[in-house]
Amino acid sequence: MKRLFILFILSFLVFSCRDEDEIRKEEAQRAAQKQSEIFKAINESWKFKPADFSEEAYTIVQEWAEWNMFYNELLQKPQTNISAFQRKSKMLVNYSEALESTIPEVFNIPQVQSRFEVLDTKLKLLKTYITLDDIPTEKVIKTVKEINIEVESVVSRMKTILEKNKIQREEGETELLESIKKSEEIPSP
């Protein structure tokens, strides 16, 4: 009777271990399939549009090494797996942070700086989403679209600045603007 009881317990343990192994294999297979689906969705939506620079803006930006590194990295699409997208998002954040401190003088105004800060925030958001264990695909796709919008906003502002710089000032306008600026700097009693 003891032998039968021991045999029953041993057979139960052996079969229950096999069931756990099969369950683990099924879970691993489901996780791999889910990763594959996430990769496919992100891969299809990871499309960054080339910027529409004016000739003058392109000439200035061409000499801006940090922008060129950032922009080239942005346009190169990862091909292999989710890890490649994660590495790409980390690289984009690093390049974006370098951009803010190296803006060319002609573009180094609050309107452009704020656009770069928003772009940096969107890139950090993308990095956050894509490095989560359970990647929210819809949010990643939405953030990629928003990054496209922000890059276009930066480029558009650059073009506007250069166009405004071409407009000649009227006689006395410069003196008037300087006096207004000085009067704003004088503290009120």
Q: What is the pLDDT of residues 71-83, one digit of tens each?
A: 999 999 988 888 9
| 95 belongs to a structural domain | yes
| 3 belongs to a structural domain | no
Q: What is the pLDDT of residues 109-122, one digit of tens each?
A: 899 999 999 999 99
Where would I find the beta strands (DSSP E) of the chain? none
| 149 belongs to a structural domain | yes
| 180 belongs to a structural domain | no
| 24 belongs to a structural domain | no
Q: What is the pLDDT of residues 151-167, one digit of tens each?
A: 999 999 999 988 887 77
Q: Show the domain range for 56.
A: 46-168
| 182 belongs to a structural domain | no
Our count of domains for the chain comes to: 1
Distance CA 60, CA 49 (A): 20
Q: What is the pTM of this model?
A: 0.76
